[in-house]
Structure 1
């Protein structure tokens, strides 16, 4: 069983990396962790209030949740689990501990980086991934056909 980390910005397009991961590892069972990176809060009040029910949970949209369900159903025979987790902080040690905690074997990223900030504290984890000693699988994504959500959702079925 492979444990795969996929960075996400909560866009439907970022979930298309899952198709490449399933294709790359064939029929091997997969545990997928979709990771979104946010900066550590700087005020003491924000740190005290930091919990699983924090404002960063609001970054996860209904469309993203629906797309995750579509993918899990499509690859039900291969994907054992798929969950979204937040990496809070931007240090190498924090990232290493995150990878160890989730038993990550490989990191999968889109070959052409198209990161967008989902929230004011979001950041691109590309530098942390590059500096980690974990194997990184680059997944080429086809160019976007249209900029409409309906077309983005339909692309999940095509791959």
Structure 2
């Protein structure tokens, strides 16, 4: 079983990486996919104490993102054993390393051309942590797939 990490900003575009993950890693063994959103640790002691009791950061996950995730899980049901969204709380290399170890991550898959969008003021782009992690990182081009889809659609609807 392969455990794959994909960074997300809760956009539908960030979920397009799942197609490439299934294509590349899904043959033969089931996949556990962790969609990770990185956030800074709370600044005050009160926020830190309430961190485990509240789930306000789960409110960042949009309904469109949830629906698109379910569609992907159903589409690739034979290849994806589980697909969940997790939050990385903190910005140090050690915190990230522990996150990867806890989730048994084998590889990280990122879009090659990705403009990270902050879902909240506490969100941050984890690209630097990923680069420094010494884990296998696979970059996939979403534009190539997009061009192929557009050309296939135009061929399909030609008269």
TM-fit CA distance, 1:104:
0.1
Distance 2:108 2:22 in 1: 13
Q: Deviations over 1:41-66 (max 9, x none)?
A: 01111001102633111101111100
- Secondary structure in 1 matching 2:143: coil
Which residue of 1 is the match for residue 22 of structure 2? 22
Which residue of 2 is the match for residue 117 of structure 1? 118
Which residue of 2 is the match for residue 101 of structure 1? 102
Q: TM-score, normalised by structure 2?
A: 0.87
Which residue of 1 is the match for residue 63 of structure 2? 62
Kindly report which structure 2 residues correspond to 1:1-159, keeping only aligned pairs within 5 A, or say none: 1-27=1-27, 28-51=29-52, 53-142=54-143
Distance 2:145 2:80 in 1: 25
Query: Runs of at least 4 residues of structure 1 off by over 4 A?
Result: none
Q: Deviations over 1:83-126 (max 9, x none)?
A: 00000000000000000000000000001121100011000000
Q: Does the 8 Å CA contact 2:32/2:81 hold for their aligned counterparts?
A: yes
- Secondary structure in 2 matching 1:142: helix
Which residue of 1 is the match for residue 157 of structure 2? none
TM-fit CA distance, 1:144:
10
Distance 2:48 2:30 in 1: 37
Distance 1:67 1:143 in 2: 21
Report how many aligned residue pairs link the two structures: 145
Structure 2: state its 5+ residue gaps: 147-159
Distance 1:32 1:26, change over 3 A: closer
Distance 1:82 1:40 in 2: 24
Structure 1: state its 5+ residue gaps: 146-159
27-36 or 74-83, which deviates more? 27-36
Distance 1:130 1:10, change over 3 A: same
